[in-house]
Structure 1
Amino acid sequence: MKKNLAENEKAIWILKTRGPQPLTAIATELGITTEGARFQLLKLTNEGLVEATTIVKGRGRPQQIWALTQLGNSRFPDMHAEVTVKLIKLMRETLGEPAVQAVIAANEKSNTHKYLNEMEGLPDMEDRLRKLVEIRNQEGYMAEYQKEDSGYLFIENHCPICAAATACQGFCKAELNTFQAILGEDVVVTRIDHILAGARRCAYRVAPAGI
């Protein structure tokens, strides 16, 4: 996805994966001067893709923070969203809610099996998490992970099935179940940010059981 963005739109990727950022941080990520970054952001503002808000912290100078607009977020679209939502609706109307849940359960089982096969021979939790990030990136989730004192933070900056998950939140529960199953019984996976709840991203704390 990143490779598909024009050079002057790389700031969109930064704001999507890092959240709202000050000008200096964006310039550093882009490897250009603050004036160069400001020029790009103003161009993106004119296109309705980003916007700036001013915040004041303590007695310091006000700081501009840049973020994606709704139009900017649409540069990372749902995959086949309209068709998927329509199919879920038709299934619910013609076959009933149990049929929808049965399909979600079957999809969960299939994904868990697929991920476990990909992780065969990786007993270490971090190696498995690294592999999960790789797989989810291939599926369009813009995933990453970060080390923490008590474990790891697994982050998905984009949800390519957001429309389907909105229509049926069983998909989100199934994903959490899959993550728990593939990362092992000796860890606990807890969702702490959820796009459907209004967060910028979905994020999960992965920590050894008992912590």
Structure 2
Amino acid sequence: MKNEQQLSEGRTRHGVARLLLERGPITAAAVAETLGLSPAAVRRHLDCLVADGEACMRDAPSRGRRGRGRPAKLWLLTETGRARFGHAYDDLAIAAIRFVAESAGEHAVREFARRRVNAMVGRHRDDVVGEQGPAERAKALADALTSEGYAASTRRVGAGEQLCQHHCPVAHVAAEFPELCEVETAAFAELLGTHVQRLSTIARGDAACTTHVPLGGAEPPEAGATAPTTTEGTPS
């Protein structure tokens, strides 16, 4: 009986962690509502994730004048928490790419990155380019990236679309070799048929990899900016 309870607790905690991954930063109240849990249960799981170094908390951005009371708190995964969802072989990958860079130069690293991303998106090229317009293509690309483990989504921000990747299986590698992010961004532009701008990356410590896709000549936000969040801090 105790083992069954522990397994159930573990599954629930993993569900809370996945929600932080896919929709963080997010409030505890939004986690409770989405998963159908009591606020007390969510708080217990969040506290355990924090104690294990897998989650952290920050104040929600202020929106004009605030009333009395404490500011809302937003929860998100740390790098340790993201490791639940696939950072395997990071050390080996970094060592291998370092060897490539030292043996054949930076151009070889970029060529490796290009072949990698082309192989990944090539499996979904027909689905993406078959859509009409950047917004529809961005949605198809998000679906393709999700199937590849990137937990991606799109949202309309002003007159543009933002493609958000809530997980990056190669974030640790990309932190040392930004060529992976640069080549990926170029591949997105080619698939979507429009210039795109990378606003944030998990590799740089941001909560998500966010790419601005202009619609109808929309101007991109300032580099480094992220999409505005709802009260719950979740993408629509």
Q: TM-score range by the shorter chain?
A: 0.7 to 0.9
Q: Tell me which residue corresponds to 1:60.
A: 68
Give runs of aligned pairs for residues 132-211 of structure 1, distance below 5 A.
132-184=141-193, 187-211=194-218
Measured against aligned partners, the alpha-carbon deviations of 1:6-62 in whole angstroms (never above 9, x if no partner) come to 123322112222223332222112222222322332333343433445679644211
Structure with bigger RCO (C-alpha 8 Å, 6+ apart): 2
- The answer to which of 61-70 and 6-15 deviates more is 61-70
Measured in 2, the distance between the counterparts of 1:171 and 1:89 equals 13
Measured against aligned partners, the alpha-carbon deviations of 1:103-139 in whole angstroms (never above 9, x if no partner) come to 3344455455444233353224333222211211121
Measured in 2, the distance between the counterparts of 1:209 and 1:92 equals 40
Q: Does the residue aligned with 1:158 lie in a helix, a strand or coil?
A: coil
Q: Does the residue aligned with 2:195 lie in a helix, a strand or coil?
A: strand
Q: Tell me which residue corresponds to 1:118.
A: 127
Query: Are the structure 2 counterparts of residues 79 and 137 from structure 1 closer, same or farther at C-alpha, using a change threshold of 3 Å?
Result: farther
In the alignment, structure 1 segments of 5+ residues that lack a partner are none
Q: Tell me which residue corresponds to 1:98.
A: 107
Q: Tell me which residue corresponds to 1:45.
A: 50
- The answer to which of 172-181 and 29-38 deviates more is 29-38
Query: Are the structure 2 counterparts of residues 125 and 60 from structure 1 closer, same or farther at C-alpha, using a change threshold of 3 Å?
Result: same
Query: Are the structure 2 counterparts of residues 123 and 32 from structure 1 closer, same or farther at C-alpha, using a change threshold of 3 Å?
Result: same
Conservation of the 8 A alpha-carbon contact between 1:88 and 1:100? yes
Conservation of the 8 A alpha-carbon contact between 1:112 and 1:181? no
Q: Which amino acid aligns with 1:91?
A: V
Question: How many Å apart are 1:170 and its aligned residue?
Answer: 1.2
Query: Are the structure 2 counterparts of residues 110 and 71 from structure 1 closer, same or farther at C-alpha, using a change threshold of 3 Å?
Result: closer
In the alignment, structure 2 segments of 5+ residues that lack a partner are 1-9, 219-236
- The answer to which of 73-82 and 132-141 deviates more is 73-82
Q: CA RMSD in A?
A: 2.6
Q: Tell me which residue corresponds to 1:35.
A: 40
Tell me the matched-pair count: 205
Q: Does the residue aligned with 2:98 lie in a helix, a strand or coil?
A: helix
TM-score of the superposed pair, with normalisation by structure 2: 0.74
